[in-house]
A = this chain, B = another copy of it.
Amino acid sequence: MIVDLQSKLLPVIDGADQAVNEAAWLGALALDLEVPVWLTEQYPEGLGDSDPRLLEALSNARRWSKVHFGAHDDPVLARVLAECGRRQIILCGAEAHICVLQTALGLLEAGYEVYWLTEAIASRRREETRLAMARVTSAGAVAVSADMVAYEWLERCDGDRFKRAHRNFLKARSARPLRF
């Protein structure tokens, strides 16, 4: 679930470009492996659409408009999520300490396993990103990197599934400089 990486919010976020790029990267791998991808947008009339890089890379993702900071506080979204049957949710987006945090806490309270995608979560202030991560991991979420998730999805290095993912995704990430 990619939270609120919207065009009018991103310019004030410390680490916005990396968050968008890495969210798009893991989102595209997810779709390739048939893992559903959701995009949320906070009050898009004011904060704009999701970043064009996301909309282009993830044209099959489901988009949700919301007014609650915590996405799971939206009763329709919460119901549809429960119906889709997944119990593990990978979160990324902005701002770490507001919408991503409240979404994480809502999901944890509802019994989901929450994975905090460290390099694709950002706030205006990096210290508030860190504080949000400390808080959600204390509350039971697991901080991960996109590489961790990818290799856990793939499980083993033999077979065509791994080879395709390696060629199309994993190799490119290896060479990218990333800030955590």
Give A contacts to B, CB under 8 Å: 12, 42-43, 67-70, 73, 97-98, 101-102, 118, 124-125, 127-128, 130-132, 134-135, 137-139, 142-145, 147-148, 151-152, 154-158, 174, 178-180
A137 to chain B, nearest CB (A): 6
For the complex formed by this chain, how many copies does it contain in all? Answer: 4
Whether B118 lies near A157 (C-beta < 8 A) is: no
Query: Does the CB pair B135–A142 fall under 8 Å?
Result: yes
Q: Is the CB of A156 within 8 A of B125?
A: no
A124 to B177, CA, bound (A): 11
The reply to whether B147 and A43 form a contact with Cβ atoms under 8 Å apart is no
CA of A141 to CA of B137, assembled, Å: 13
Min Cβ gap A157→B in Å is 5
Chain B residues within 8 Å of A102, by CB = 151-152
Give the CA-CA distance A77 to B17 in the complex, in Å.
Answer: 43
From residue A40, how far is it (CB to closest CB) to chain B in Å? 13
Known: A102-B152, A145-B97, A148-B101. A127 touches B178 (CB 8 A): yes
Please give the distance in Å from A164's CB to the nearest CB on chain B.
16
Cβ-defined contact, A180 with B127, below 8 A:
yes
Residues of B within 8 A of A180 (CB): 125, 127-128, 130-131
A4: shortest Cβ distance to chain B, in Å? 11
